[in-house]
């Protein structure tokens, strides 16, 4: 059984996030994640967060619990939560990608995910085969950056 747990969620920001606020969020995440073995990716675009958290299950769930209570987030929706044998972002304590910098294929996968989320079927999203296909394609599109 794998000891790596992956949790992927989307949420809406309650207020506009400035670049300085995002830098602060990333600095805190990087400082806190590295010692507990959590890696991942954060995207922020048009008022929405998309985040991948990977690591020991207890650590990932503790971070996610704090995110759910964070007043900057609303409408937190889990897209995937599962054990995995490999990390998508093994060397990123918290990578950040500006959504404007995504390649067309990456944007297409993100749009596909946002449409699935828009159906408001939160209870079934994490077990949906369609969501898994889109998530795997989206994560796979970042493999070239995984060692950064």
pLDDT at 1 over 80: no
Of 148, 146, 144, the closest CA to residue 54 belongs to 146
Confidence class for position 126, pLDDT limits 50, 70, 90 = low
Confidence class for position 77, pLDDT limits 50, 70, 90 = confident
Confidence class for position 143, pLDDT limits 50, 70, 90 = low
- The overall average pLDDT reported for the chain is 78
State the Cα–Cα distance between residues 106 and 117, nearest whole angstrom.
17
- 9-20 tens-digit pLDDT: 888 888 888 889
Domains of the chain: 4-145 (3.30.70.100)
Q: In angstroms, what CA-CA distances link 148 with 12, 37, 102, 122?
A: 27, 16, 16, 33
């Amino acid at each position: 059984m794998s000891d790596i747990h992956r949790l992927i969620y989307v949420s809406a920001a309650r207020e506009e996030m400035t670049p300085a606020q995002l830098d602060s969020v990333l600095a805190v995440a990087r400082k806190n994640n590295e010692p507990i073995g959590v890696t991942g990716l954060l995207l922020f675009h048009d008022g929405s967060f998309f985040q991948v958290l990977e690591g020991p299950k207890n650590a990932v769930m503790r971070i996610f619990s704090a995110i759910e209570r964070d007043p900057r987030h609303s409408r937190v929706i889990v897209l995937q939560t599962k054990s995995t044998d490999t990390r998508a972002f093994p060397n990123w304590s918290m990578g950040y990608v500006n959504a404007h910098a995504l390649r067309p294929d990456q944007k297409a996968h993100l749009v596909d995910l946002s449409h699935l989320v828009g159906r408001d079927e939160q209870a079934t999203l994490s077990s949906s085969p369609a969501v898994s296909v889109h998530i795997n394609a989206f994560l796979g599109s970042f493999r070239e950056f995984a060692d950064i």
